[in-house]
Structure 1
Amino acid sequence: MTVNKPRGTRDFLPADTARRRYVESIMRNVARNWGYSEIITPTFEHLDLFTLKSGEGIVGELYNFTDKGGREMTLRPELTAPVMRLYVNELQSFPKPLKLFYFENCFRYERPQKGRFREFWQFGVELIGSGKPDSDAEVIALADAMLKAAGVKGDLKIGNLAVIRTLLSGLEPEIVSKVMRLVDKKEYAGLEGLLEEIGAEEQLKSDLFHLIKLEGRYILPDVKEIVGNLPELVSFEKTLKLLDAYGVDYTLDFGIARGLDYYTGMVFEVYAEGLGAQKQVCGGGSYQLIKLFGGGDVPSTGFGIGFDRIMEICPLTPPAPKTLVLISKPDVHHEAIRFANELRKHVPVHIDLMERNFKAQFSYANTINADYVVIVGEKELEAGKLTLRDMVSGEQELLTLEEIIEKVS
């Protein structure tokens, strides 16, 4: 019987894995250089962690289960809630701000399609304990730096939910949530229908549609004409000036809603070139979640990067390490192993594991496109040297082990 991989999952072959690890390491290094520390949370959590954050409706999208102790658990569908839970459990007494990052797999039970899988990887950052403009600016600039380091080109769009929430302040909270979700999905016909259904005033409808369709670098005066000079806009302008100092290129878009109630102020999204309809590769903003999980009223800012989408368009390839095959006959095989141990401190080395003859070992070296072959034979051992063959040029030399190490590493 043949057992196939589950629907919505993937196997990564050696070349794919090497490329993913390479890009992952670049992004990790960027985060570390900005002063962020990596954390790891459990692959599964209590189901309540996610229903508290997103409501009972999310259960249909989860890989949830009842464990043998009767506890309701789920594989994590995202990582912001686990990080907030970790903060409440472990980090509340640590100096602020806390600057954390993670790279983990997540699971969602949804229909697989291009760019969307049931198991997917997310790279994310959370800055906890500061709601200042400098914090918002740093998080956006870090996202921009990470994507650029991965060779991904995209459009960064920034908005501020305080504006639209001010406009909707006269509506019931559940109606506001529905409006925000429709705005997030850009379902303008559905939005118009909802506003008609609740009997919204014409001025509100006019202002709302005007606001969510505003887009450009210099649209703040237009926004202020709609809602006035809000205190949140003063702070937002400081964030934008800091982004100018960082050299970040962006567009303002007050139609960004993120569709989640916990976002409180600044929000941003990045849309990459070359991905078609599913082109959003990064999203984030400032939010309040910690109080929901039993902590204090602590401001946070963060983002998540869809790593799988990044890999669809990332042009980077890892530098190929030099590969060496060490060839020997049976009577000197033990000596060959000792040489391989020394060479492996400097370069990847293959030795024969199949009891192949001398000619077959050479053929294997050709098959795997080895850069070098080192021959260990009786004559070489008597001379205290080894034969190094360059498999590209065909040249070969009799060298000491130290000379070979210097040449191939």
Structure 2
Amino acid sequence: MLSRPRGTRDMLPEEMEQRREIEARLRAKARTWGYREISTPTFEELELFTIRSGEGIIDEMYVFEDKGGRSLALRPELTAPVLRTFVNEGRSLTKPIKWNYFGDCYRYERPQKGRYRQFWQFGIELIGADSAMADAEVMMVADDLLRTTGVTFVMKIGHLSFMRTLLRDLPAADQKKVRAFLDKRDTEAASVFLTEIGRNDLAHPLQQLISARTLDEVFAVIGEIPEADRIRETFGILDSQGIQYEINPAIARGLDYYTGIVFECFAEGLGAENQILGGGAYRLAHLFGGEDTPSVGFAMGFDRVMVALGENIWMPFQPHVIVIFTPNARDRALEVARELRGSGILCSIDLMGRGFSAQMKNAGKNADYVIIIGDDEVKTGLATLKNMKGGDQQTLPLTDVISSLTTH
């Protein structure tokens, strides 16, 4: 028996209906903010991803050579493809450009709860705006979208200038190592590393900065910086709109192209792998042959959101109706089923050649309502509607049956 590849999943109808429901909510909510959906190829030139992350990322990707000898990769994330699309197709569009996306990505890593080798991301990119309002809007969109799904989460916000200011006297390689420890939330390892390189003088200020939970506490450690006014304005906008967040100066995001504000969201009930969203301000277009363009966006780990929601997913009720019929009423039953579906009603009809009693027995296991089309119904043009939960039934014109089912 052949099995699915490790790190992938088969999703049965109930799970897919839940996923499509949450997808629909995200798409609809993003559209209210003016973010329109785009789609990019599942595979891209390998260089699209290595040009900013280096060759070391190849071990974490699905990489292959096509018949023309080109090095390609299944996309490990969607920000780079979206910015490549901007460079290829969108440079002449009026800015700011507001795009959203939803797609599957692939990474060769150890599967665990909420982390798969094939996974889905939903995200937005705001391209061409460089302001406190732009930074704040993207975080407000993130907050709005997550609330739309119903997941319980905490948003944490930082700014790269906090840590860069504190570590400005370190060589670039050492700064990167400290940020890597912080990106893994291992603050103790960061302090130990500073001691090892003879910069124990930074260990205490680092701990003070990491512990800071207000802007006043942050600036008390690092002093006033050129970005201070914009940072205060950004947080002031969030405060004015009632956005709930925590300040976390240790956020590093682990990618060199981030330039300013950075933020992450964490859900309850996911253990160590509880980050469900991450983003920030960045500059990436110039690496792909475009102009140096300010951007800000985020990607949401859709699979982790679904795991966090668990059984707590509200689904709109759509009654399942089964049309059952006597042998001579088959053609009329098919007409009735067609009219029900034309009105958007979920409707099934016997395909197994069962007798009337067997059809009714099967419907008792699977249907919310049954519509009976027998010889009398064929003669009168009526239909008998039976509630399989309550047991009551009535014979009505089909238009009344449809009205009853669609207003349930």
Same fold (TM over 0.5): yes
> Of residues 374, 379, 403 in structure 1, which corresponds to 2:376?
379
> Of residues 232, 235, 242 in structure 1, which corresponds to 2:237?
242
Assess if the C-alpha contact under 8 Å between 2:194 and 2:202 holds in 1: no
TM-score of the pair, normalised by structure 2:
0.95
Letter matched to residue 308 of structure 2: I
Segments of 4+ moved more than 6 angstroms: none
Assess if the C-alpha contact under 8 Å between 1:332 and 1:378 holds in 2: yes
Letter matched to residue 277 of structure 2: C
Distance in 2, matches of 1:333 and 1:212, equals 72
Write out aligned runs for 1:9-408 (5 A): 9-200=8-199, 202-214=200-212, 216=213, 219-314=214-309, 315-346=312-343, 347-368=345-366, 370-408=367-405
SS of the residue aligned with 2:18? helix
**Deviation of 1:193 (Å):** 4.2
**Deviation of 1:295 (Å):** 0.9
Once the two structures are superposed, what CA deviation does each residue of 1:362-396 show, in whole Å capped at 9, x if it has no partner? Answer: 1221121x121111122111112122212122222
**Deviation of 1:286 (Å):** 0.5
SS of the residue aligned with 1:231? coil
Distance change >3 Å, CA 157–CA 195, structure 1 → 2: same
Assess if the C-alpha contact under 8 Å between 1:181 and 1:260 holds in 2: no
Distance in 2, matches of 1:309 and 1:248, equals 22
SS of the residue aligned with 2:404? helix
Assess if the C-alpha contact under 8 Å between 2:191 and 2:206 holds in 1: no
Moved more, 187-196 or 287-296: 187-196
Distance in 2, matches of 1:375 and 1:196, equals 80
Distance in 1, matches of 2:187 and 2:337, equals 66
Letter matched to residue 284 of structure 2: L
Assess if the C-alpha contact under 8 Å between 1:53 and 1:81 holds in 2: no
Assess if the C-alpha contact under 8 Å between 2:182 and 2:250 holds in 1: yes
SS of the residue aligned with 1:120? strand
Distance in 2, matches of 1:81 and 1:146, equals 22
Distance in 1, matches of 2:195 and 2:71, equals 41
SS of the residue aligned with 2:227? helix
Once the two structures are superposed, what CA deviation does each residue of 1:321-347 show, in whole Å capped at 9, x if it has no partner? Answer: 111111123322122212211111221
SS of the residue aligned with 2:354? coil
TM-score of the pair, normalised by structure 1:
0.95
Assess if the C-alpha contact under 8 Å between 1:122 and 1:307 holds in 2: yes
**Deviation of 1:225 (Å):** 2.6
Distance in 2, matches of 1:101 and 1:119, equals 20
Assess if the C-alpha contact under 8 Å between 1:256 and 1:267 holds in 2: yes
Structure 2 stretches of 5 or more lacking a match? none
SS of the residue aligned with 1:344? helix
Assess if the C-alpha contact under 8 Å between 1:183 and 1:212 holds in 2: no
SS of the residue aligned with 1:308? helix
**Deviation of 1:189 (Å):** 4.2
Distance in 2, matches of 1:406 and 1:130, equals 49
**Deviation of 1:270 (Å):** 1.1
Distance in 2, matches of 1:158 and 1:19, equals 30
Distance change >3 Å, CA 222–CA 379, structure 1 → 2: closer
Assess if the C-alpha contact under 8 Å between 1:45 and 1:73 holds in 2: yes
Distance in 1, matches of 2:211 and 2:390, equals 62
Distance in 1, matches of 2:247 and 2:189, equals 24
Distance in 1, matches of 2:112 and 2:391, equals 48
Once the two structures are superposed, what CA deviation does each residue of 1:285-337 show, in whole Å capped at 9, x if it has no partner? Answer: 11111111111111111111111111112222312311111112332212221
Q: CA RMSD in A?
A: 1.5
Distance in 1, matches of 2:156 and 2:305, equals 17
Letter matched to residue 358 of structure 2: A
Distance in 2, matches of 1:155 and 1:386, equals 53
